[in-house]
Chain A
Amino acid sequence: MTADTNSARSLPRPTASEAPVTALVGNPNVGKSVLFRNLTRRYVTVSNYPGTTVEIVRAKASEEVGDREIVDTPGLNDLAPRSDEARVTRELLESYPDSTVLQVADAKNLRRALFLTLQLAELRRPMVLVLNMWDELEERGGEIDVERLSTILGIPVVCTVAPTNTGTEELVAALDRARVPAIAPEPGTTAPSDVTRLDRVNDILAETWSISEPERASLGVKLGFWAMHPVKGLAVLSAILLAVFWLVGLFGAGTLVDALEVGIFEQRVSPASIAVADRLLPFPHEHFTEEVPFTLSLPISPAHEVVLRETSRLTVRPAYEISPSVELTGGESFRRLVHDFLVGPFGQVTMGLSYALAIVLPIVTVFFLVFSVLEDSGYFSRMSVMLNRVFRIMGLNGKAVLPMILGLGCTTMATMTTRVLESRKERIVTTMLLALAVPCSAQLGVLLALTAALSPGGALVWLGIMAGVILMVGWLTAKVFPGEGSEFILEIPPMRRPQPGNVLTKTYSRIEWYLKEVIPVFLVGTAVLFLLDSLGALTAIAHAAEPLVVGWLGLPAEMANALLVGFMRRDFGAVYVLDAATGAGAILSQHQILVAMVTITLFMPCFATLLMITKEHGRKTALGMVAFIFPFAVLIGGLVNKLGLWLGTT
């Protein structure tokens, strides 16, 4: 993630000759970064996606450790230069020929660590092996003969529990005793094959490792098992989806958005900023005031809620009137323009900021929090197992589940994580589906609010159309796009209780990334709308798009604006639809809401996503997708409209 790897650039980069370099190398998710923090006292945010962070983080060691430079490398399973991580790590080790290698291992997964140890030994560098997560090994009844292991390998072996900083002192002491492993092959001999290495590993394991399996499986193990069971797994999946729907769709998009948008922005921030703008930019005008009701409630289902608090407040609105007898001077007209730019109906504060901070931010925050909890618990891998078959239809496999789910949070971010997929074909298909039919959380929240305005049957129809479109377009893209998908071999981490610190850090770094990405887009989008509105172009565009919007989609002409802002961001467009469907003077019928929902869900991905697609797959692919998505969205929306008319559901 960009946000995570930024830390690499901001860290000081001492010259190579200053201090001896110690490189942390190890399998993914063994706690390298926590250890890095213990050794350097520097905080580095960590991402848990294999393959996305291939950047190197380095820092000077803390005083207790001594004059050393510590370098953290991406997690890797195999040192052979077949993956980016391995290439990066190899290049790094080559650029520091005198570096010490500090291999970090997950003590309960010694086999995989030793496989890497043997590969590292072939580099003939001084090494230390750290058996991290020692507590988890003991919990499982595992035992490692550390002394024997140290003798066989010919290097110091230290046990640590990184999160509690246990064993760090022993580790520091061991760093000075680092030696070239005794098992390293003589220089000049050819490297052994993978199978030979694995065989050696098994021999070492036989001498040093034992485990007594617990009589009864722990709850975590059972839960992990249920989550993949063909029947119970579906139950777990539905339960989790329901929980996510409630948290994000109902609580986040309902309660939190109401509180922020109406309770804070509409009732307080907007009137205050209007007052400030009026004071600084005086011109003769009178703002409308309106009684704005505000309900704080706890949702139970889309149609039921428990009302906690109900208030109403007389509020100044952005709309105003100028008495017809007043003639504005040049200065006053200019002040009026600036006033409108800031706090008018398309104002930076009253529309741009309030959309970004009051509607999008709460939804996204809740989503990322839920996502981080699920990610940290190890559930996503099990979800990949459950959905592997379905994804196979689209030429993908279970590994594409992660980007697709993340796409429900932020499509731009998800487009970036399609990098975890192995073949280009899979990356293209996933990007296509993300751009076309996976609504991001902001849009999803608004769409869910719309479904509340729709009958339950209509909501199901919408869900069915989306699922059908994803399957069909995925299937077609996979057929049309040449190349093979990759095979599904996925490691399944143990289910564990999510660590609050971990979850919060990850949520925070994602939100930070999101805000940096989104707020400028919202402000620019609002500015463009303002410009078009002041030039009178909005009406002209609405008029020009009339045949398409009114004739084909059967929507009121004003909805052209929703499509127009949809170009900026889909959720922006959806907010527009929501306003037209449920706001004051609702103008949409049930049938029209469905058509608008389908069209806006499938509509163009936001500008940031387009930029990301261009960056990841090139301009040609991005243009190709745009050329398909826009007509396709309008086509499907129109078909829903015509079908509805024909069936007489209007």
Chain B
Amino acid sequence: MAGDYLTCPMCGFEFARGDTLCAHGCPLGSMCRLVRCPSCQYEFPETPATVGMFRKLFKRRRSLPVAAGEARLPENVRAASELRPGERATVLCLGATATERHRTLTVFGVAPGAELTVVQQQPACVIKVGETELALDREIAREILVEPGERKARAPTVEQEQPTGF
């Protein structure tokens, strides 16, 4: 997620928080508020919470670096937000780690393997699953990855979970 990525103010290198260069056994330990850029070795303080709040107040939210991720999607896998109205698709994954959202979507019938039809994209994305029509934020639709076209054979992992009752 965006919060775990830092940008070095010196060289502009973007790196994960875990990649920070830090001397082992440093006596400051968790008290240390400095991070060191793995690229240029420049040590800088992390943005304190108060400064962050002011920034939030006056700056537009920086967009997530999604564009780079989307480019790497395999062929014929697309985000639900890219489908044209009327297009049908099979859900592959519900996106990142928002489990609460996954539960809500699952209860409405949107889960991997479900078939959806896009009703519209503007002003909000509306999809249809079975007889249920659901309106979603574009941000949510962008994270739902689908495979356009009719439903295909299910993945073998799901098959193993088949109940024995019937």
Partners in one complex: yes
Say yes or no: is A320 at the interface (Cβ < 8 Å to chain B). no
- CB–CB A228/B109 < 8 A: no
List residues of chain A with CB within 8 A of the CB of B112: 195
Cα of A458 to Cα of B123 in the assembled complex, Å: 31
A491: contacting residue among B113, B134, B166, CB under 8 A: B134
Q: Is A199 an interface residue, CB under 8 A from the partner?
A: yes
Q: With both chains docked as a complex, state the minimum distance between the C-beta of B141 and any C-beta of chain A, in angstroms.
A: 10
Q: Is there contact, CB below 8 Å, between A108 and B106?
A: no
A228 touches B165 (CB 8 A): no
| Interchain CB contact (< 8 A) of A488 among B56, B111, B124, B133 | B124
Q: Which residues of B contact A111 (CB under 8 A)?
A: 109, 129-132
Query: A388: CB under 8 A from chain B?
Result: yes
B109 touches A198 (CB 8 A): yes
Listed A/B pairs (9) with beta-carbon separation below 8 Å: A77-B108, A108-B131, A199-B158, A202-B114, A228-B124, A385-B135, A388-B135, A487-B101, A491-B108
A196 CB-CB contact with B under 8 Å: yes
Complex CA gap A139/B106 in Å reads: 27
B126 touches A385 (CB 8 A): yes
Interchain CA distance A140-B105 in the complex, whole Å: 25
Given the known interface contacts A225-B119, A488-B140, A489-B104, the answer about A385 and B124 at a Cβ–Cβ threshold of 8 Å is yes
A381 touches B135 (CB 8 A): yes
Known interface pairs A82-B103, A182-B165, A479-B57; A384-B109 also in contact (CB < 8 Å) = no
- Would you call A479 and B131 a contact (CB within 8 A)? no
Most buried by B among A384, A388, A479: A388
Interface residues of B in 34-83 (CB under 8 A from A): 56-57
A492 proximity list for chain B (CB < 8 A): 126, 133-135
Asked if A490 and B123 sit within 8 Å, CB to CB, the answer is no
Are the C-beta atoms of A183 and B166 separated by less than 8 Å?
Answer: yes
Is B161 engaged at the interface, CB distance under 8 Å to the other chain? Answer: yes
The contact string, 1 if C-beta is below 8 Å from chain B, for chain A 374-414, is 00000001001110110000000110000000000000000
Q: Is B27 an interface residue (CB 8 A)?
A: no
> With the chains together, A489 CA to B125 CA distance in Å?
10
B140 touches A489 (CB 8 A): yes
Contact in complex: B107, A78 (CB < 8 Å): yes
User: B14: CB under 8 A from chain A?
Assistant: no
Q: Are B166 and A488 in contact (CB under 8 A)?
A: no
- Known A109-B130, A111-B131, A385-B124; further 18 A-B contacts with Cβ < 8 A: A80-B103, A112-B130, A115-B109, A152-B166, A194-B102, A194-B111, A202-B113, A228-B126, A230-B120, A230-B122, A386-B123, A388-B124, A388-B135, A388-B137, A489-B105, A491-B108, A492-B126, A492-B134
Look across to chain B and name the residue whose beta carbon is closest to the beta carbon of A142: B131
Query: Is B163 among interface residues, defined by CB-CB distance under 8 A?
Result: yes
State whether the Cβ of B92 lies closer than 8 Å to any Cβ in chain A: no
Q: Residues of A with Cβ closer than 8 Å to B?
A: 77-78, 80, 82, 108-112, 115, 140, 142, 152, 182-183, 185, 192, 194-196, 198-203, 225, 228-230, 233, 381, 384-386, 388-389, 397-398, 479, 487-494
User: Could you mark each residue 143-166 of chain B with 1 if its beta carbon is under 8 Å from any beta carbon of chain A, else 0?
Assistant: 000000000001000100101011
**B51 shortest CB reach to chain A, Å:** 15
List, in ascending order, chain A residues with CB within 8 A of B131's CB.
Answer: 108-109, 111, 140, 142
Number of inter-chain CB pairs below 8 Å: 123
Give the shortest distance, in Å, between B133 (CB) and chain A (any CB): 4
Cβ of B56: which chain A residues have Cβ within 8 Å of it?
A: 479
Q: Find out whether the CB atom of B106 lies under 8 angstroms from the CB atom of A194.
A: yes
Contact check, A112 vs B107: say whether CB atoms are below 8 A apart: yes
Q: Are B124 and A389 in contact (CB under 8 A)?
A: yes
> Is B22's CB within 8 Å of the partner chain A?
no
Q: Which of A200, A230, A397 contacts B123 (CB 8 A)?
A: A230
Closest 5 A/B residue pairs (Cβ): A492-B133, A194-B106, A230-B122, A488-B137, A78-B107
Docked complex Cα distance between A110 and B102 (Å)? 20
Interface centre among B98, B132, B140 (most CB of A within 10 A): B132
Contacts of A194 in B (CB 8 A): 102-103, 106-107, 111
Contacts of B120 in A (CB 8 A): 225, 228-230
In the complex, the answer to whether B106 meets A488 with C-beta atoms within 8 Å is no
The docked-state distance in angstroms from the alpha carbon of A180 to that of B115 is 31
Does A489 contact B109, Cβ atoms closer than 8 Å? Answer: no
A182 nearest CB neighbor, chain B only: B165
> Cβ of B161 and Cβ of A112 under 8 Å apart?
no
Closest Cβ neighbor of A486 among chain B residues: B100
* Complex interface: chain B residues within 8 A of A77 (CB): 107-108
A309 CB, min distance to chain B CBs, angstroms: 46
Give the distance in Å from the alpha carbon of A381 to the alpha carbon of B137 in the complex: 14
CB pair A198 B135 closer than 8 Å: no
Cα–Cα distance between A384 and B163 once the two chains are bound (Å)? 40
Complex CA–CA separation, A140 to B108 (angstroms): 20
